[in-house]
Copies of this chain bind each other. A is one copy, B any other.
Amino acid sequence: MAQLKEVFMSNNDNVNLKRTFINELSEADEKICLRGWVHKIVDLSHVVFIKLRDKSGVVQLVCQKDQVKDLRLENAIEVIGTKCENKKAPGGIEILVDNIKVVGKNYYDKLPFEVNACKNKATLETQLDHRTISLRRPEIRAIFKVQNEIEVAFREYLKERHFEQIHTAKIIDSSTEGGSEMFTVNYFDKRSFLAQSPQFYKQMMVGAGFERVFEIGHAYRAELHNTWRHLNEYVSLDVEMGFIKDEYELMDLEEGFINYLYKHLKETCKKELQMYKIELPQKINIPRIALDKARQILLEEYNKKSPVGNIDAQGEVLISKYVKEKYDCDFVFLTKYPVSKRPMYAMPDDKDKNLTKSFDLIFDGLEITTGGQRIHDYEMLKENIIKFGLNPEDFDFYLETFKYGMPPHGGFAIGLERITMKILKLSNIRQASLIPRDMKRLTP
């Protein structure tokens, strides 16, 4: 290694070469500097092909044997070389190497699993135990490229519509919203909680004059579920909008976002969508079905009984199947959930006071959104808090905003990992979280 380093350092012409990313190679000069990891080594008789992987892609290096004698898979290296066109090489370009310098050494006997094999043979748990190794696999990294662009699209779409991003506190004083399913925090010897959602704060910021807000932040659920669709810490894409007419305006907003998102992903994640064989539709019109009607459909079409005032996980799958067959849509809004199944701030329906102006969005069998119009009248909200058996004094910090001209408003939240998972048709939500937290996993 020391020898290589000396060679490189004395090669003064090259030291100041600007680094080229692999996806920029076609526009680069002939003489280039690349950096990345040794993805694959193919040792032929007189020449060695190295597949170099950087954050943007993979390229083939053509090396002499003595240049690579110290190299092993996953070494981090810096390469000086000459760009050549070669129709036989993957991507049509290969690099004739002048120098290779190892900048990140290896200290392993055996990789925990193969990074460069076509098929990923490691179990999900093993992949997550060695998260930083599994992320080196291009198809795993692709998930987070798509996730990133979902967030970009969310931000762009909302900004174009006068929404502003906010950050609100995650350590909160009371467990008023969700009760037992919250994590407790010892806050200077005071018992506090991790927020289940920015619900109260996003409503308060609407009232504070922001009118239209969104937040991208962690939410915490101490749910005793260890399933393919639950995370105990997840990223919530939250929206809240003032001066709305009704909950249908919110559904329009979310439907508009899904269409915007699909267009954006087709432009920015072509390669990644191909890896997962995903073809996104051109235009989506999302059916809106009242919950009661959905329960009836489930019973009539699939002989499926649902729990009172709701549908269960199997019901979500079946109603998606129904909507897919009937309307060729992967999404369905379920509307008009009963008061008993919604929080105290849900706005009652105009016609039937046992129902609320709320909705869920089901995407391919999985709920990815809960939303709705909220109560904006101070007295009505206070009364409702009492009706729910809660103490309005516990909500003083929240209720105050409602005394000073709170406009009609509502919103929704999208689980970032859930929508990522469903777009890429992943089978487990942990695949869509960089560092997932579940009941059993606190590391890495």
Binding site for B on A (CB under 8 A): 19, 21, 35, 37-38, 53-56, 74-78, 103-108, 111, 130-133, 135-136, 141, 144-145, 148, 151, 162, 164-173, 183-188, 190, 192, 194, 201, 204-205, 207-212, 217-218, 220, 222, 224, 232-233, 235, 242-243, 376-379, 397-398, 400-408, 416, 434-437, 439, 442-444
Contact = CB atoms under 8 A, between A and B. Distances in A.
B173 A442 contact: yes
Among A145, A211, A377, A404, which residue has the most Cβ atoms of chain B within 10 A? Answer: A404
Contact of A75 (B108, B201, B405, B434): B405
Contact of A208 (B135, B194, B242): B135
Contact of A209 (B141, B184, B218, B222): B141
Nearest to A168: B435
A265 to B, nearest CB: 16
Contact of A442 (B21, B172, B402): B172
A205 to B, nearest CB: 7
A106 B218 contact: no
Contact of A405 (B104, B186, B205, B407): B104
Nearest to A137: B209
Given A185-B184, A187-B183, A76 B405 contact: yes
8 contacts: A35-B242, A74-B404, A104-B407, A131-B204, A136-B209, A171-B442, A201-B434, A201-B444
B168 A434 contact: yes
Per DSSP, are chain A's interface residues mostly helix, strand or loop, or mixed?
mixed
A218 B169 CA distance: 9
A187 B442 CA distance: 9
Nearest to A134: B208
B165 A132 contact: no
Nearest to A439: B188
B434 A192 contact: no
A435 B170 CA distance: 9
Given A131-B204, A402-B107, A442-B172, A35 B243 contact: yes
Question: How many monomers of this chain does the complex have?
Answer: 2
A104 to B, nearest CB: 4
A398 B444 contact: yes
Nearest to A109: B403
A41 B432 CA distance: 53
A379 B135 CA distance: 23
A133 B108 CA distance: 59
A83 to B, nearest CB: 19
Contact of A434 (B136, B167, B436): B167
A108 B404 contact: yes
Given A107-B403, A188-B439, A404-B111, A183 B171 contact: yes
A28 to B, nearest CB: 14
A208 B162 contact: no
B400 A130 contact: yes
A164 to B, nearest CB: 6
Given A132-B205, A167-B235, 7 more contacts: A53-B209, A54-B211, A104-B376, A104-B406, A166-B434, A185-B186, A201-B444
Contact of A210 (B55, B170, B194, B222): B55
Given A166-B434, A187-B442, A405 B132 contact: no
A107 B55 contact: no
A436 B111 CA distance: 45
A379 to B, nearest CB: 7
